[in-house]
Amino acid sequence: MRILSLVENTAENGCRPKHGLSLYIETPQHRLLFDLGPDDTLFRNAETMDVDLTEVDMVIISHGHFDHGGALERFLEVNGRAKVYVQAGAFEPHFNRVGPVKIPIGLNPALSENPRVITVQGDRRIDEELLLFTVPEQKLLRSPMNDVLWGERRRDDFLHEQNLLIFGKSNVLVVGCGHAGIANILKKAEPHAPGVCVGGFHLFDPVLRRTAPKELLDGVADVLNASPDIMFYTCHCTGKKAYKYLGERVPKLSYLACGRSLAVSEKESARQ
């Protein structure tokens, strides 16, 4: 299995940085994209990384925020065959709310009518290799960075957020922003014994430019260290300050910037 970061807040190897996320993943059965980023950055970086997006056969959009699915309309024009899996609630209105001001951050609801867009309600086993799952139980280590994120009338419950398990020689857990809390996500994924976890932990608020409090970071570090068999690669909404703090406390945590790739083998994952 191979994972390439095509959109991320930071970039290397000639790629362009952008606040958002898109991971290109090659498995024995699929060429898939997990998230698409907000704009044309995906297509520019795919060309730089020599990734042919017309060969992608599946897209997973982790949740209904623009920085993860804003490039959907153009992707559907570029690629004529890939199915797109998204939770039904992802196309509802979503906002970043600061005081009385609500800034729309949702997806284009008209795209839900595209015949290649498959809306999912809750968990879905796609095939023997892929499982989508949601996390309704969000009691552990809630991030206050979620407080500014709203639906139409109330704070977001993130039931529109889904995670991906890829089954292989070493099972891989892929997370978008981890709004439901990485502790809660790991708890639900635990029966499947992932050996690698890739994704954001939502410990940074890009609007107010603030990082989660030390108490939460310590709790996250404890949770990650309690899973010694998992290699963690974080990115995007974890934030640089939080990553630095966690990286000093979690030996098996690395950062996956845009332009980097991972090769996942039976017993370990190694940066390429």
Q: What is the pLDDT of residue 272?
A: 31
Q: Which residues of the chain have pLDDT under 50?
A: 267-272
CATH of the domain at 145: 3.60.15.10
Q: What is the pLDDT of residue 209?
A: 86
Look at residue 270 and tell me if it is in a domain: no
* DSSP 8-state code for residue 221: H
Look at residue 269 and tell me if it is in a domain: no
The model's pLDDT over 30-62, given as tens digits with 9 standing for 90+, comes to 999 999 999 999 999 999 999 999 999 999 999
**Alpha-carbon separation of residue 103 from 65, 151, 195 (angstroms):** 12, 11, 38
Q: What is the pLDDT of residue 65?
A: 97
Number of structural domains (the chain) is: 1
Residue span of the structural domain in which 19 resides: 2-263
pTM attached to this predicted model: 0.95
Look at residue 217 and tell me if it is in a domain: yes
Look at residue 45 and tell me if it is in a domain: yes
